Amino acid sequence: MNDLTLQKARAYEAEHGAAITPAERPAYHMTPYVGWLNDPNGFSYYKGKYHQFYQYNPYDVRWAPMHWGHAVSSDLLHWEYLPCALAPDSPVDNGPGCFSGSATEMDDGRQLLMYTSVVAEKQPNGEMRDIQTQSIAIGDGLDYEKPACNPVLTQKDLPEGFSRFDFRDPKIWREADGTYSAVTVCLTEDGSGAAALFQSADGFDWHFVTVLERCNNQYGKMWECPDFFPLDGKQVLMLGPMEMLPKGEFHNGHNVIAFIGSYDKATHTFTKENVQLMDGGIDFYATQTTLAPDGRRIMTAWLQTWSDTEDKPQGCKWFGQTICPRELHIKDGRILQTPVRELDAVHGKRTFHENVTVQSETSLEGIKGRVADLTV
């Protein structure tokens, strides 16, 4: 491991991130400390705070070899930046870097990160291709070490015919018996995605269990950023299909969809009953959920998609942000989303107007400032 890569990133962000004033950032959307952000990673509650890692290039406002940025919050609204958590500094991730992943807590109190490690390899035909495997890192909420056993999952752990070029985005969680489970996405023989379940007794030694669901070229092509969790008596498999064609509520390009159904833990069988779009907007991707201490299922996402990442202000110091986190519930077979209730605590005085015709020059008494929560 080359610690210099991580130390270089930490030194750069400490200097340049600290120079960005709060007035240059949104008020309650989390942004990168400096540089580029895409997928939220490792969204978790650990040691009394919410931890939000993210795909990160501190050096520029465009995608480049991926690091993991890191921030913590007590209320999901105000974020404190911590030093860069992961850098592309080990033999299995020293090319394109440390791609998306997740986090959970171990029995000894340490935090376990699981992420996709990517390295470029020359193929028999001479072509360079990115090889995707799954790796882990273990730390105390500030500093993380990558063990020598990495990668912990490779193409050898997948069913025959699955691709080693598209095998990524592990979402890890603890089972009731203390064992570890993770769902990843992978590309199958028919050229479309699948969600695969893996398990481990200790978080280090992993094995394939089953394919939870296949795309069968019905919902886009390759899938990304899976999540698998119980919600109000149902089981949800949430993921991001790429290359969707517009049909019904699904729009063109990158979507986030949720399969809602039931799950037999004894046989590891997921049975979908309904499918829905998670957000009608095009700037919404790479969702990840966590369980709050009070039992709420809370979701974050990247407030962007790949189709418009070149549309950025000239001279900007950061690019990319996450949504205001949302609480999830199921009603009448569909997932409902509401802004986290922590927003209620930051509301100011309520101002009410009625029977007003709003025109371009309209000024309403009591409504001013940088941030307003409007109900119209």
**Which are the catalytic amino acids?**
39
**Residue 375 and residue 45: Cα distance in Å, rounded?**
31
Task: Please report which helix (H) or strand (E) contains residue 9, including its range.
Answer: helix 3-17
Paired tokens of 17: 């991130």
Report the candidate in 121, 141, 139 with the shortest Cα–Cα distance to residue 130.
Answer: 121
DSSP 133-199: EEEEEEESSS-EE--TT--SB-GGGSPTT--SSSEEEEEEEE-TTS-EEEEEEEE-TTSSEEEEEEE
Place of tokens 């400390």: 33
Residues whose CB is less than 8 angstroms from the CB of residue 217 and which lie 6 or more positions away in sequence, other chains included: 190, 191, 192
Task: Please report which helix (H) or strand (E) contains residue 122, including its range.
Answer: strand 111-122
| Amino acid symbol at 178 | G
| Amino acid symbol at 63 | W
- Could you tell me the CA-to-CA distances from 109 to 42, 83, 105, 106, 141 in Å, in that order? 16, 20, 6, 5, 10
